[in-house]
A and B are shown apart, each in its own frame.
Chain A
Amino acid sequence: MKTGTPAWGPGRHGAAGFALDLGRCVGCGACVLACRMENRLPGRVSWRRIVPLNLARYLGGPTYFFSLACHHCQDPPCVRGCPSGALRKRPDGVVTLEADLCMGCRYCEMACPFKAPAYDSDAGVMTKCHLCHHRLDSGLLPACVEACPVGALGFEDDTAAGGDVAAGVDVAAGGAPDAETRVGRVLRAEEVPGFVDPGEAKPGLVLVPPVGGIRGAKYVSLESLLAAAADAASEGEGSGHG
């Protein structure tokens, strides 16, 4: 099948994680299905999910989609919280779980701010995203990244997968978090308003803002929206009873 060679694969800098281009992600879920397919996950377990923000276009603002899996944190609370040593962070940055050592206590799930580890109730053990390291080892991209039809998903240090939006940014030199790209500053997950507070975990997720930036500035208050809409209605725009 098709191969892709990550420009900045994990293992290179001891940091690993996904990048998500918020201007490109349309929340389609192909990544969720590709993960399920690749890792042959049973229906009761999901390693990736789509979290829509503002699906109802509250205040007339846009919808953003967050395709999220394990962030392979720099200081993973799940590893710290695991009493059996089943979870560990590999030298290349990938956070893995060894099922043989897992006793299914679910402490990691409680410790993770993002609830990324998923409990397999039939097997009685935790499961989690391992960045498809079996694919990485053979020079392939993680299944979710490979499947993304709009190039929204990439590696933390491979935002080029998102349509060369961050081409030239060298994460190894510490450039990514504050680097200026053509579409604006690359954001760390914890910088995004409304995002779960990651504590000290330092999640390895990089979020690429859309062209023109997050459109929060366009939001207006609910009161002013309703006032404007009421004005429009009094000019014959509305369609209520009457």
Chain B
Amino acid sequence: MSLRTVRTVCPRNCYCTCGMLVGVEDGRIVGIEGDPVNPATGGKVCLKGLSYVERVVHPDRLTTPLRRNARGGFDPVPWDDALADIARRLETIRRESGPSAVLYYEGSGSHGALSGLAAAFWRPFGGPTRAHGDLCWPAGLEATRLTYGDNRHNHPVLTRESRFILLWGHNPAETNVHQWNLILEARERGAKVAVVDPRSTDTTDAADLHLRPRPGTDAALALGLGHVILAEGLHDQRFVAARGLGFESYVERVAAYPPERVAQITGLEAEEVRELAREYATGRPALLVAGFGLQRHHHAGQAMRAVALLPALTGNLGVAGGGWQYANLASHCLRPPPSLPPPPEVDPRSFPTSRLGWVLQHLGDPPLRAAWFEKANPVSQHPRTAEVRRGFEGLELVVVVDQFLTDTARMAHYVLPAKTLFEEEDLVTAYWHPYVQLRQKVLDPPEGVRTETEVWRELCVRFGFGTDAFDVDPTKRLRAMLPEGREGALEELRDRPLDLSGCGDVAWADGRFLTPSGKVEFSSEEAARLWGVEPVPDYQPLEEGHAGEASRRFPLQLLTCKTRERIHSQFGNLSWIREVDRPRVLDIHPLDAAARGLADGDPARIWNARGAAEAPVRLNPGIRPGVVHVIEGRCVPEDPWMNLVTADGVTDMGWGATFYECLVEVEAVSVERADPEPEGRP
């Protein structure tokens, strides 16, 4: 019995991207703990990181390819048979309908730079149909880029220096635990914390100020804060004069948003708006952290631009403890794998991700006949699931690569078993801290599992494509993917994470922004040109919002937010996680519940014109009346299938999804009353 410890990194789609130390005994992972050499994650991992001990050897983990049989179940098949049949059918479709009759769809289920090797197959294949934008964050990314020129922010540990922390549509106590730790430290040193969120969360519980606006009215609130800050002379005149572009037109814009009007739009008190504006503008240095929540609707980009201007207005940029935190892409500096074949001459066609259901069914010239999904579970996680399912039913060939039989895998013709993060060495970037980390290999894949790298190579061989990209020494390959001149850093990465960006710990410290004007763009011609929006951001009511036409029939705004035990549809199938899982319930204000005759624990149907889902009711006075909430992420069949009701719109910029622009009605399901969530005396 010998114990060895391997340094690696958690590659989930999560802010933290924790460094991990993994203890291995007799070929089995027996212990996981945080890696203290990562300064941002500070030697800790969250419960999801710990649960890999169970996940890697979970009895439901797939270790053989599966082929759907005539009865709708699955039979195990040897790899050679599976790949031969898949290759034959892909080749037929390519010959008859062209390469774009195949969809290649890659989700965010696991991060690693080797994903780029898929191109070594799909490029010579001729360019399949792809998706662009994504379901999560692109409107905010584009809004930040238009405002500052790039997505970067201060090193997370500088949160400790903040005196005022404004968390907007963000819930780090549940979704970014290491940031929460830093916020608690700042708070214990006297910082105030304000939260803008229509719900009460573990984050708002610790807040000094909690504003609960109507979902989708953030732009009005941000412009109202600007109004008060300007009216009371609390802005940083020197900063906006020297570093701002189009400030005069911004002044004109916010003039139209006095607190009384903002109160009308947002449902807040005018005094709450004034108080937050004063506290934020005077609590220097003030940090503004925007989550992804406020950019999941049609006017998301403009709302995010309006919020992103507040740190500039108050001169909180280029300051330790201040700043705008949305996404830090400092680590996104890797190069693609070497020796890839050239891309096809014609750009392959692509569509905005959130439109998947429509695209699968209605795309023509040529229509889609086959689809390949990896690191993705669209049947659970895409908006408007019923459409996605319908789309799947019309396909001749669906290949899904996954570790478990997910909702999506269940609809596949072939399921190929995927490796875990421990089973192939790779480079991982982050979007909160600035570090590139090496995901060192801990174990060989179990018998019957092949890495995606091996699968692509095998397909290339079967198609007679070149295999140069695969026939590189794996270490040399990773070295060549590091930024030019830093290839030698690979060996250092075995010992610690590295910031290879050269950006420094304080973003925008030099005051030189990467926008066309080199300034913070209060007014952006680029925004108008690229996206057809107003150069100065403005508030626009949501079509499917609190005052929209549909609200007469469906008066409740549905939010489907995240929490700590899951990353979307991952982890919730593990017994270790289920032991500490949050109940999947419908949070509804007691008044809204009373109006519908719903009592605590009643099973409820949440429905609209798109579909219906069910969840037990939890009377929650912490949520804003008119808003209801269910945690998203469907991991097991008992979980509410919320994406049956969500909308598949596209955001005003960045091609994001509009999950939170969703009106519903809630009604009792007439069955016996279920028990409320387990809760008791400690």
Interchain CB contact under 8 A, A229 and B681? no
Which residues of A lie under 8 Å from residue B32 when comparing CB positions?
A: 37
Q: Indicate if the CB atoms of B680 and A2 lie closer than 8 Å.
A: no
Which A residues are in CB contact (< 8 Å) with B595? 238-241
**Nearest chain-B residue to A242 (Cβ)?**
B595
Min C-beta distance of B124 to chain A, whole Å: 45
By the criterion CB–CB under 8 Å, are B202 and A63 in contact? yes
Count of residues in A whose CB is under 8 Å from the partner chain: 61
Which A residues, 26 to 84, have Cβ-Cβ distances below 8 Å to chain B?
26-30, 32-34, 36-38, 40, 43, 46, 49-60, 62-63, 66, 68
Minimum CB distance partner of A38 in chain B: B31
Q: If the complex has contacts A2-B36, A60-B622, A229-B591, are A43 and B575 also in contact, measured as CB distance less than 8 A? A: yes
Please report which residues of chain B, range 559-606, place their CB below 8 angstroms from some CB of chain A when the two chains form the complex. 564-565, 575-576, 579-580, 583, 587, 589-592, 594-596, 600
Q: Which residues of A contact B206 (CB under 8 A)?
A: 23, 62, 210-211
- Of the stretches A10-18, A99-107, A141-149, the one at the interface is A141-149
A residues 127-155 near B (Cβ < 8 Å) are 146-151
Indicate whether A7 reaches chain B with its CB closer than 8 angstroms. Answer: no
Task: Verify A26–B174 contact, CB threshold 8 A.
Answer: yes
Q: What band does the interface of chain B fall in when counting residues whose beta carbon is under 8 Å from A? A: 35 or more
A163: chain B residues within 8 A (beta carbon): 184-185, 188
Is A19 among interface residues, defined by CB-CB distance under 8 A? no
What B residues does A239 contact at CB under 8 A?
Answer: 546, 555-556, 592, 595, 625-626
CB-CB under 8 A from A238, the residues of chain B are 591-592, 595, 625-626
Chain B nearest CB from A137 CB (Å) reads 17
Q: Given A1-B23, A211-B188, A239-B592, A36 and B555 touching (CB < 8 A)?
A: no
CB nearest neighbor in A for B199? A57
> Is B50 in the interface zone, CB < 8 Å from A?
yes
A110 at the interface (CB under 8 A from B): no
How far apart sit A37 and B178, CA to CA, in the bound complex (Å)?
21
Check: A172 CB closer than 8 A to any chain B CB. no
A237 CB within 8 Å of chain B: yes
CB distance from A4 to the nearest CB of B (A): 9
B101 within 8 A of A: no
Q: Is B200 in the interface zone, CB < 8 Å from A?
A: yes
Measured CB to CB, the residues of A under 8 A from B are: 1-2, 23-24, 26-30, 32-34, 36-38, 40, 43, 46, 49-60, 62-63, 66, 68, 146-151, 163, 165, 182-183, 192, 194-196, 210-211, 225-226, 229-230, 232-233, 237-241
> Can you name 20 A-B residue pairings with CB atoms under 8 Å?
A23-B184, A26-B202, A26-B564, A28-B564, A29-B565, A34-B33, A53-B682, A56-B618, A57-B621, A147-B44, A149-B34, A150-B181, A196-B682, A225-B590, A226-B591, A229-B590, A229-B621, A237-B267, A238-B625, A240-B596
A46-B579, A60-B200 known, 14 other contacts, Cβ within 8 Å: A24-B184, A30-B45, A30-B46, A32-B47, A37-B32, A51-B680, A147-B34, A149-B34, A226-B590, A230-B591, A237-B267, A238-B595, A240-B595, A241-B595
